[in-house]
Structure 1
Amino acid sequence: MEYLKAYFLKFFITMTIVYVIFGIFYGVSIWDVIGISFFLSVITFTLVDLFILPKLGDLSAMFSDFGLSFLSLVIFGGVFIEEFIILGSLSLFVTTLLLVWESYFHKYVTKNVLKEETKGNIIVEPRINFITEFAEEMDVSDISKQKSDENDVR
């Protein structure tokens, strides 16, 4: 149930942002806005919010959201919209507005939706920690010379 609630929240906010910019300012029909918002919400919710967000964290999900949203708006905007508008710059503007909203949505999804599935063990930006060891000696032959010198002294 939480998945559906999160998806419809994403769909309605996406539709609102797309409608304000495309519909009100540039006269795109409401049916075109609904179609674009539906496909954009399905793609970004399934790929980013359900797969990338729990595995790679919020920052990777934001970059993925930005790329997928921009490409989806350009592609689906070209398919659905019959009017002549500047699609690239409008898509970039709408994507930026969506990205601001997505930062809050990712917190909501992490707290309410993904917590059930992963039981609170969400990996946030995995890092590889390499441990290095430093020694005083740079050459192995120096070590054997030092040991022989120490043995001679004793």
Structure 2
Amino acid sequence: MKYITALVIKFILTTGVLLMILGAVFEVSFADILITSLVLTGASFIIGDLYVLPKIGNVGAAMVDFALALAGVWVLGSFLFEGPIPLGSASLLSAIGIAIGELLVHWYMKKQFMTGQATMPGYYDRNLQTEFSDELEPDTSKKNKRDQE
């Protein structure tokens, strides 16, 4: 229930960016933009926000969202969009716009929902530990009782 606000904000952001880029520039229909936005919002919320954001952080999750948006618009556009549309540039521009907006959504989610959660330490924490021991090689001079019999 607590993620519904973030999911709605993410859907509005994705739909707005796709309307500005795909609708205004490439003249894609509103129904195709809504379907693309629903699929991208669901995939990026589950993968980017719930899985990657707590582990890697804001920038890493935005990069994952960029890749998802690029691939998602490209693949969905090849099935949904009518007419000769340059899918490479349409998906690249859409992915850039969505990734920039996702930085703000991730900041909002970390501020509102992930304040008390324990996050998995990543490579950026620099909390390294080293084990030390006295024995570098096993002592083979002592034999087990089983070997002596």
Q: How would you bin the TM-score normalised by the shorter chain?
A: 0.7 to 0.9
State the partner residue of 1:14: 14
Q: Secondary structure at the match of 1:114?
A: coil
Query: Where is the helix percentage greater, Structure 1 or Structure 2?
Result: 1
Report the aligned-residue RMSD: 1.8
- Tell me by how many angstroms 1:68 deviates: 1.0
Q: Is the 8 A contact 1:54 1:124 kept in 2?
A: no
TM-score (normalised: structure 2): 0.78
1:121 paired with 2:96, answer: no
Tell me which stretches of 4 or more aligned residues in structure 1 moved more than 6 Å: none
Instruction: Map Cα deviations across residues 60-100 of structure 1 (whole Å, 9 max, x no partner).
Output: 21221111111011011111111211111111111111111
Q: Which residue of 2 aligns with 1:84?
A: 84
Q: TM-score, normalised by structure 1?
A: 0.76
In the alignment, structure 1 segments of 5+ residues that lack a partner are 133-154
CA drift of 1:113 comes to: 2.2
Decide whether the 8 Å contact of 1:22 with 1:28 is kept in 2: yes
Specify whether residues 129 and 112 from structure 1 end up closer, same or farther in structure 2 by C-alpha distance, changes over 3 A only.
closer
Report the residue type matching 2:17 in the other structure: I
Whole-Å separation in 2 of the counterparts to 1:47 and 1:78: 23
The equivalent residue for 1:44 is: 44
Aligned to 1:63: 63
1:33 alignment partner in structure 2: 33
Identity %: 29
Partner residue, 1:137: none
| Rg larger in structure | 1
- What number of residue pairs does the alignment pair up? 129
Runs (5+) with no aligned partner, structure 2:
131-149
